[in-house]
Amino acid sequence: MQVAQFASQKMETKIPKLAIIAGNGSIPFYLVEECKNKGREYCLIIIDGHAKELSEKYKPDFIVSLSKMGKAIKYVKKLNIKDIVMVGGVERPSLRNIIPDLWTAKLLAKLNSSITGDDSILSSLTKALEKEGFNILAPENIIPSLLCPKGILGKFKPNKNNNKDIINGFKIAKLVGSNDIGQSIVIENGLVLAVEAAEGTDNMIKRSALLKKEEKGGVLIKVIKPQQDKRIDRPVIGINTIEEVWSAGLAGIAIEYNEILIISFDEVISYANKKGLFIAGI
């Protein structure tokens, strides 16, 4: 009797419904598919002006302007959803051109007195949502395999010069990140060729190609900034990243293990192996 009752209770256990607030990029696709595969109910909310391909493949439940986040919060609360994951790149709007709703206006008022960079904006948004009673989840809470593992991930290994650059570059990248400048650098034989700023990783890699000395040399190093909120702003690499590394003539990539997300892992490793590039989780 007790065994049957326990089995019945176990069968009735349901995974909480998830709200996916999506910007640009591939991760929202993975999250939607994971929910479908696991039978997890989800609500897809797309930031207005973003995620066009996602909208075409999966019908969004709600489209919200960045200036009207209060409407999205009311919508999610009405559905009795507690778990939220926010993923994808979002273009920051000009504050002069937006007319916020009351909830967003209160958030912006707090930001005006404390903003120090993108990390402080995201951190403030997260705290505001938590005060509303939501649980903010990270993509890897849903799909743990997205996180970069430790060690050499493909067939090729960094040489001695590459290893020196990785050791020194990791320290430099962390220092750059601690000042909320960027997540990535390119380094060759001890010389920093490029530091990621507002242009993003791919454009930084292109810029570094103009400064390289060796035909095939230099390492892309990508880390998480010390102050970054890991739940909503983890660094990502994908097939576009590894293609840019190859085009720029770099020797490989070193990324912080258990911190960086790798999209299309098998495709990325296959491409690196084909082109003779190393990928290391450091």
DSSP annotation of 231 reads T
Q: Are residues 31 and 60 in the same domain?
A: yes
Alpha carbons 173 and 241: distance in angstroms, whole number: 17
Q: Taking the chain, what is the end-to-end CA distance rounded to the nearest angstrom?
A: 53
Domain count, the chain: 2
Residue 229, pLDDT score: 82
CB burial of residue 38 (10 Å; 0-12, 13-18, 19+): exposed
Q: How confident is the model at residue 240 (pLDDT cuts 50, 70, 90)?
A: very high
Last residue of a domain, one of 142, 168, 190: 142
Average pLDDT over residues 258-279: 97
Amino acid 60 reads P
pTM of the model: 0.83
Q: Are residues 185 and 118 in the same domain?
A: no
Is pLDDT above 50 for 7? no
Residue-averaged pLDDT of the chain: 88
Identify which of 44-48, 70-74, 269-273 has the greatest average pLDDT: 269-273
Q: How confident is the model at residue 29 (pLDDT cuts 50, 70, 90)?
A: very high
Q: Are residues 97 and 169 in the same domain?
A: no
Q: Give a yes or no: residue 177 inside a domain.
A: yes
Residue 1, pLDDT score: 46
Is pLDDT above 90 for 119? no
Q: Are residues 114 and 239 in the same domain?
A: no
More confident residue, 224 or 121: 224
Question: Which residue range(s) make up the domain with 211?
Answer: 147-281
Residue 188, pLDDT score: 97
Is pLDDT above 70 for 160? yes
Q: Give a yes or no: residue 103 inside a domain.
A: yes
CB 237 within 8 A of CB 218: no
